Structure 1
Amino acid sequence: MKLNLSGILSFALLAGTCGNPAPTAVVSYADTAFTQDYSVKYVADEGQQAEFRRVYVNRDGKVQVLAADGLKHPSNGHFLYPGHVTEDRSYRFMSAKQLVDMALCRGELVYLDSRVIFSNAWSGRLYIEHQLASPTAFAANDSLEFLVTDGEQVHFLADHAVKWKGQVPGGKVLQLIGHPTDHSQFFLVTPESLYRFSAATNQLEKIHDGSGFTSADVDARNNQLIVGTSDGYFRYSLKDGQVTGALQNKLPWPHIGLVKVIGEKYWFGTDRGAFAVRQDGKIDYYAGKRWLPDDQVTDIASGAGQSVLLLTKGGLANIHFKQMTLLDKAMYYEQQVRERHIRNGFNATLTGMKAGDLSTGYMGDSDNDGLWTSLYLAAQAFRYATTGEQQALDNCMESLDAMARLYDINPVPGFPARSFERRGKGDTRTVLSDPERWQLADHPDWYWKATTSSDEVIGHVFAFGVIAELVDHNDTREKAIRLIDTLMGHIVKNDYYLVDYDGQPTTWGRWNPEYVNGFPTNVGDRKLNSSNIIAMLQTAYHFTGKSIYKEKAFDLMDNHGYLENLLRPMAEIGEAPEDADDWSRMLSGAWNHSDDEMYFAGYWGLYRYAFNDTLKAKYKEAIRDHWEAERPEKEGAWNIFTAITGTADFDRDEAIWYLQEYPLDLIQWTMQNSHRRDIVLLPPNFRTQTTEEVLPPDELKISRHNSNRFILDGGDDGVAENSAGDIWLFPYWMGRYLGVIDAPANP
């Protein structure tokens, strides 16, 4: 089913806002509308080799593209479902014209061919011979005046006749520009000069010399020309007749091919995508197939409503700018998850796609089905606790049932499988990820996946604890508590190991003191595993009341140094010393961002279910210390998580920025940023922070919370679509429950 974005966004406003009051004394964000951008793409028809030159939309909203072989228009495109750029046969006899250029005049489309300037508007009365043998470009204004060139000569047309002819010294006219408000002025761009033509006096004058000029446009608001070059852009004051400020080349890509002023933004087209410079100097970069059919941008135009048209070598992108609240965005994502990402109750990735085509994908299995589902499950529990919506409770019960089956589909008491999947023809394991890990279940139709990891375990306990605390549905709550007890009973019985079907501990399911304290004190796994096991034991004691969990936790803290381990400052975590064992050195070669996800998932049980206030205060210090290390990433989930401590300082605005800037398109498109000139690269470091400032999420590859947000290049060419369940809905609904984010004032 194709997504009707406007319908979804309208529906989003109907979401309920009743529920429990905010449990923490934090400063909340008033959920007002922000500008959400997304792209509707139209690709060239298969086999089409036409050069796309120009794009405009007329006053009726009709979009037309001029190509080397005639007129085209976009057809049948929707968000996430690209349309095509196909032949425009609206005026069938236009195919006989040899069109050279196209412009917009009084909101109507005007054409330049080898002999005349003409239009189908105004009853077709506009028809002026330009008297140039080989015209290359023209410009128009709303006074129905035109400037035409063949690259060397320039003719001015008014009142249906040629009024002036002239020669541009040196020739090579690249572009003609009409002033949008002062119709007495036109401008000409050559590689080395800028010229102004006065329609009032029929005079052509050179106004600026330089080099490497490529394109320009008029900023009428500030009475200046914005001039693109092969190494950035500059502003030229039409009032003062001089360059204003320095050359701007700290840009995503400084080799500018075209310039367009649209509203209050300066838009630039390059062979590495397009970017817009805002009035505050910040830059929005549109590159890669999340945004464009191709990165070689050939034209830019204002679109219908709040949109911008980006014409590329491979087709057209219509970048829409829609006003949304975070709740609107949440309800869009809720539908995305339910339509394409629920596999047997798991929160799954749609994978196996061909070049971003959603219809070609399937819901794949994952090593981390339990973890990604835990975060989605927690999101739905937070949603239910906040809004009381039955749909959220239904989602909770469905995914909790999938999580419960992880425990009963395998023969080991208390052991959670990584995942389960149906058997197909033959040995299906050969087409599943990590085939050697899959085991036959007793049920004739299923496999289950072994070697479960510690990140699944902490995810399970986190989600079960959230449900047990917040979901006021007895059967669901009791089921979550049973699962906590089942899992933690297994771990305690097996001396703090997760023991698999073969009787051996899994590679990562190890919290035993001999293993944990075998690491040097500065190796992160020593701190992490200590933090996680204490959080899990506290959670188990809090909900079951079984004293063994409390006794075991204090034994680890008092007699095995686990409290000291988990309180160790993040500044001390780094590479193992040279004389350390190979395992320690391998684990500590660089910061592990999966560890961050495990830490923060554990912090829920560590802080909220602390045995006493003294411990709680110490845990708060540890959480804030970790958060301080994470602040440069502007990771929305970790900022919001930190609010569980009741602190007013958790970078709330950065968390909102993260939620607002995350793209609606969650397809794993390949994204490239390492070439950019507007970023400041850092030398290699343990934290693997590549730049001084993290880029917005919509300019990076899609990544979960266990990824490094400073990775500049990555993605997978549209082979999969991630679920918003763990990436976005989890921090949003947690923020709503914690009182970090308010419901919209007027839903």
Structure 2
Amino acid sequence: MANKKLSKWTTGALTATLAAAIAVPSASANVALPGAQFTPVQLHAAATKNVVYYKAGDASIPANLDWTTATDIPFLPGAVTGDVTAAFKDKDNVYWIGTKTGLQRVDFTESDARDIVQYFAGPRYLYGGDDNVLALASDGDGGVWAKTASGVTHITMPKMTLLARTSVYEKLVKAVNDRRGMASGASFAFSDGANSSVDYSSATGTFTGSPATSDNDGLWTTMYAMGEIFRYRTLKDEAGANPTTQQQADIAAAKADALRASKAVLLLDYVSGRGNGFPARSYMLTSEGSAQTTDGTDYGFQSQNGLWFHTIVGDNAVNPNAIVPSMQQAGKTPIGYGLVRVTKDAESKKGDTLFPSGGSDVMNYNGFGLSQESIDALNAARPDGQKLGIDIKTSVAKNVYQVLPVITAKTNNANAAEDKTTTASNKPLFQLTVPVYEKIPKFFNDLFPASAIGSDGYIDQNQIVYKADTSSDEVDGHYALFFTAYQYLCDDTSDPELAEFKRLTAEATDRMTNLILKDDHYYIEDATGKSTQWSRWLSKYFNDSLNVMEKQALWTQRIGVDANGDDALSYGYEDGPLNALEIMSMLKTAITVTAEAYPQDQAKFKAAYDLVYDGDYSKEEPFVNGKGYINMALDYQARRLVRQANNAYNINGNNPVTYEKPGYTGDREDDSNINGTLHGDWTQYINYSDEELGWFPVYELILQETDPVRKAQIVAAYDQWYANEKREENPFYTFLYQMAHPEDTTVDLASAVRFLYRMPLYRIELAAQYDRQDVLYIEPGDRDKLKQTNYALAPDERKIVKNNSNPFAQFDGPYTANPNFDYNHGSMDTSAVFTLPYWMGRYFGIIKEAQ
């Protein structure tokens, strides 16, 4: 991509030298959780898989390797070893077994029975994904050389502490994933002029990243930032009042990394210049390749999809439209405007109806259509023949027309569509604008290159293209960052930078919370005058027509239909329990973070928060936003079952599922929820993205709520989520569950720590092999339609994913061996799934690092 700022990291050997370079604190946990009765897990150095890749014919493959094709395995009968191609026992009595479908390591001395047999297959372990092992050779030091027709790999298993791994992860984030402080998955290039083989741990190797905009930059960066904040506080608190020189350096480095990432998230609340707390999804500079348009102007088509606005400020910035009423700010004069970019979404994202109570009003649609109030205000300044909704409109359904953010001659009065023909000489008939009221604070200047700083010393907003239509995912992450940074990072206000960060965090929190509560609408308002598509916390969105469904006989079978048998579930019905926790945490965090700087808003925020515990939630008009939401949070499993039963009802010809469908095999996509419904198994209707999102509000609430009755309700709500999360063995969820239940001595912390031990050191997105004999497969999940393993494979034996993906799903189908596999280029995810639970676990005394 043009003008992409690239970062580099020269790797070092993964040996004891790296571990020794890190100051290991002698203190134990920083914070004992109130009422804690569990015993922290004492960590130790554990094996970490490292692989060196040699293409077939590489002259650097050692010539003196003692290859074997012997197949004798004394502990297995010959009848089950027909696919074995090579096997040997090394000096440590570990068996290495090559087969036609991969490589296995068998060590009967492993302390965890699940680690006795470890599986190596796919391009992560065998060259180019050629799983047919032809021969093996011992390296004499606990590792193995594996030969296939495509190449050779040398697999070693050096022992490292988890602390030493975090050092590697930190460097990789800086080299590959960091985009002006934001951290998400990115493309990488690896080069090593000193070696023909590819060894990511080579002392002479270099990683170079090409990070680009992500749909949820704020959420992914929040996860990374939170880990860095807990890293900072853990190191600082454990060092005590008299840190050593090395400890001071480690603390300073952690603080710098935490502040950079936290600033990058906070910037998203200012980058639009709207001045009302609106959080952007992401932003680009106009110099980035993804921000380019087909003709180089704002009228050409931008291929990076979404609802993007280009900021235009300065003396010549004349807004071509009137200001949408909801975007007007009393007493303020705009300094410019944001013009929506021509993208597929802006032209065609009509969405679906939100409420069963229905109607064709634009406010009833989950799309980008403008509100009627906005249309009326814009029309007041438009001449006859160019009136929106009359002369210029887009058909989005039968007899339903909307005014989308971009309407072209091609899409005018026709179905919404993608039109790439727009140019400066062929402008759209309509392009939405939004006012810009303020400059981006200079506090964020250090995140930008010098070329993006204007002559007035501020960031040049004319170089900003930001993404709107911000989802609840982003807002969820922002509030978790607000709380974590305010509580654990801003501990030294004598530091001018931290003091300013604390001030802006309080301001952003106050602004966004007021934006959500504005006019009691409980949503994030966008330039359309409507809510964004997903950031809704209003009661009607979750509960419209509930009173209708509950009167029907089928409701007793968890089927939500009206008297005609039509689906009567509100669009946001299943989002209710998650979004209830979200708005609760937002209000609680706002109370904490704004108390000092904005005392005038405390009563409003507290009243809204108290309301969530006041009785039951609304099920019919007039809906009361916020009221009784804690009870909606407690409906998590019940609502999953209802939504699943409704889907099965539709599949089954509008008949309740009371029997197994004839011919049902368990792996047909259109039947994927029949069996789950029949047996009341809500875990087959899991939205794993929602699981990840649900973590953040629970984390905020259990650390802030002190009322024992309220806290018990919050914990009870999370217990429903953890009923599925427990089998994932993920420390992200397990450590939070322990924090919610500090008195519980039976939490499976060992499995969560094993997850960390088994995390690949390089989170490169390589295909994994799921065609193995040690798992059973269950029917596809209702949402992802992918066959699932009956237990969660270790992270180093499955596809690299974030926590928002199904850890049981078989993501990769059959792949073909590739003797020309490119190990020098690929995609690498961030390490936040490791570093956040690791440092949080350290800080709250759940785990203790090796001494």
Same fold (TM over 0.5): yes
Post-superposition CA distance 1:62-98 (Å, at most 9, x none): xxxxxxxxxx5428xxxxxxxxxxxx6xxxxxxxxxx
Residue 117 of structure 2 is aligned to residue 283 of structure 1: yes
Selected match of 2:747 from 623, 631, 650: 650
**Equivalent-residue separation in structure 2 for 1:306 and 1:325 (angstroms):** 18
The 1:258–1:733 alpha-carbon spacing in structure 2 relative to 1, beyond 3 Å, is same
Whether 1:419 and 2:279 are equivalent positions in the alignment is no
Letter in 2 for 1:313: A
Note if 1:327 corresponds to 2:395: no
Letter in 1 for 2:837: P
Indicate the SS of the match to 1:13. Answer: coil
Farther-moved stretch of structure 1 (28-37 vs 514-523): 514-523
Alpha-carbon distance in structure 1 between the residues aligned to 2:545 and 2:20: 53
C-alpha separation in 2, matches of 1:353 and 1:327:
26
1:473 paired residue number: 492
Residue 547 of structure 1 is matched in structure 2 by 603
Partner of 2:366: none
Q: 1:371 aligns with which of 188, 204, 219?
A: 219
Which residue is 2:509 aligned to?
484
Q: 1:373 touches 1:399 (CA, 8 Å); kept in 2?
A: yes
Q: Decide whether the 8 Å contact of 1:287 with 1:671 is kept in 2.
A: yes
* Residue in structure 2 matched with residue 29 of structure 1 by the alignment: 41
CA offset at residue 17 of structure 1?
5.9
Query: Deviation digits for residues 234-292 of structure 1, max 9, x if unmatched?
Result: 26xxxxxxxxxxx547xxxx622222222323222123221122325832111111112
In 2, the alpha carbon distance for the partners of 1:449 and 1:17 equals: 46
Q: Which has the higher strand share?
A: 1
Instruction: Indicate the SS of the match to 1:74.
Output: coil
Offset of residue 552 of structure 1: 1.1
What 5-or-longer segments of structure 2 have no aligned partner? 1-8, 192-197, 201-205, 237-250, 295-301, 313-460, 494-498, 551-557, 559-572, 596-601, 618-626, 655-669, 674-681, 816-820
After superposition, residues 658-737 of structure 1 pair within 5 angstroms as 658-673=755-770, 675-684=771-780, 690-714=788-812, 720-737=826-843
Structure 2 CA distance for aligned equivalents of residues 452 and 711 of structure 1 = 28
Structure-2 change in CA distance of 1:433 and 1:734 (3 Å): farther
Question: Equivalent of 1:537, from 560, 581, 587?
Answer: 587
Report the residue type matching 1:44 in the other structure. Answer: A
SS at match of 2:789: coil
Of 239, 252, 261, the residue aligned with 2:89 is 261
Gaps of 5+ in 1: 49-71, 76-87, 89-101, 110-138, 140-174, 176-214, 219-224, 227-232, 236-246
Q: Give 2:754's aligned amino acid.
A: W
Kept after mapping to 1: 8 A contact 2:266/2:478: no
Aligned amino acid, residue 230 of structure 2: F
- Work out the CA distance in 1 between the residues paired with 2:220 and 2:545: 28
CA contact (8 A) 1:347 1:723 kept: no
SS in 2 for 1:217: coil
Q: Could you tell me how far apart the structure 2 residues matched to 1:708 and 1:568 are? A: 22
The separation in 2 between residues aligned to 1:714 and 1:258, in whole angstroms, is 26
Q: Alignment length, in residue pairs?
A: 558
Identify the residue that residue 634 of structure 1 maps to in structure 2.
729
Q: What's 2:850 paired with?
A: 744
Alpha-carbon distance in structure 2 between the residues aligned to 1:316 and 1:519: 62
Deviations 1:297-317 (A, max 9, x none): 111111142321111212211
State how far apart, in whole Å, the 2-side matches of 1:12 and 1:706 are: 34
- Give 1:461's aligned residue: 479
Matched to 1:405, the amino acid is L
Matched residue, 1:346:
182
- Rounded to whole Å, the distance in 1 between the matches of 2:647 and 2:45 is 56
Superposition pairs for residues 4-23 of structure 1, below 5 Å?
A: 4-6=12-14, 9-11=18-20, 13-16=22-25, 21-23=30-32
Residue equivalent to 1:217: 72
**Residue 500 of structure 1 aligns to which amino acid in structure 2?**
D
Instruction: Name which of 52, 75, 88 aligns with 1:40.
Output: 52
Q: Structure 1, residues 453-476: CA drift from partner, whole Å, max 9, x if none? A: 101111111121011111213214
2:308 is equivalent to residue 435 of structure 1:
no
Structure 1 counterpart of 2:77: 234
Match of 1:510 among 514, 519, 536: 536
Q: How much does 1:657 deviate? A: 0.7
Letter in 2 for 1:373: T
SS at match of 2:158: strand
**Distance in 1 of aligned mates of 2:838 and 2:283:** 28
Which letter maps to 2:138? S
Aligned equivalent of 1:400: 262
Partner of 2:354: none
What residue number does 1:574 align with? 641
SS at match of 1:666: coil
The 8 Å contact of residues 188 and 207 in structure 2, kept in 1 or not, is answered as no
* 1:579–1:340 Cα change, 3 Å: closer
* Equivalence for 1:61: none
Asked if structure 2 preserves the Cα contact closer than 8 Å seen for 1:574 and 1:591, the reply is: no
Deviation at 1:685, TM superposition (A): 5.3
1:524-565 deviation line (CA, Å, top 9, x unaligned):
311111111111111111232312111112234426331111
Residues 440 and 257 (structure 1), Cα distance of their counterparts in 2 relative to 1, 3 Å cut: same
Seen in structure 2, the aligned counterparts of structure 1 residues 328 and 248 have a Cα distance that, compared at 3 Å, is farther
Alignment match, 1:410: 272
Q: Corresponding residue for 1:591?
A: 686
Question: Partner of 1:302 in structure 2?
Answer: 138
Q: In 1, Cα distance between the equivalents of 2:545 and 2:649?
A: 9
2:527 match: 501
Deviation, structure 1 residue 658 = 0.6
1: CA distance, partners of 2:777 / 2:303: 36
User: Residue 574 of structure 1: SS of its match in structure 2?
Assistant: helix
- Distance (Å, rounded) in 1 between the aligned partners of 2:830 and 2:26: 21
Residue 337 of structure 2 corresponds to which residue in structure 1? none
C-alpha displacement at 1:575, in angstroms? 4.5
**Bigger RCO (CA 8 Å, 6+ sep):** 2
Paired with 2:141 and 2:506, the residues of 1 have a C-alpha distance of 52
- Taking structure 2 as the reference length, the TM-score comes to 0.61
Q: Is contact 2:702–2:714 with CA below 8 Å preserved after alignment?
A: yes
Moved more, 563-572 or 657-666: 563-572
Cα drift, residue 19 of structure 1: 9.0
- The answer as to whether partners of 1:17 and 1:387 remain within 8 angstroms in 2 is no
Residue matched to 1:382: 230
Change (3 A) 1:302 1:579: closer
CA drift of 1:420 comes to 1.1
Within 5 Å, give how 1:40-189 maps onto structure 2.
40-44=52-56, 72-74=59-61, 104=66
> How far is the alpha carbon of 1:568 from its aligned partner?
2.4
Q: CA RMSD in A?
A: 3.3
Superposition deviation, residue 617 in structure 1? 1.5
When residues 359 and 334 of structure 1 are mapped into structure 2, their CA distance, relative to the original with a 3 A threshold, is closer
Partner amino acid for 1:32?
H
Distance of 2:133 and 2:527 partners within structure 1: 56
Contact 1:574/1:686, CA 8 A, preserved across alignment: no
Tell me the secondary structure at the aligned position of residue 309 of structure 2.
strand
CA distance in 2, matches of 1:278, 1:337: 33
Deviates more, 1:435-444 or 1:631-640: 435-444
The letter of the residue matching 2:23 is L
Return closer, same or farther for 1:613/1:660 CA change in 2, 3 Å cut-off.
Answer: same
Please state if 1:274 is matched with 2:103: yes
Residue from 441, 449, 463 that aligns with 1:445 = 463
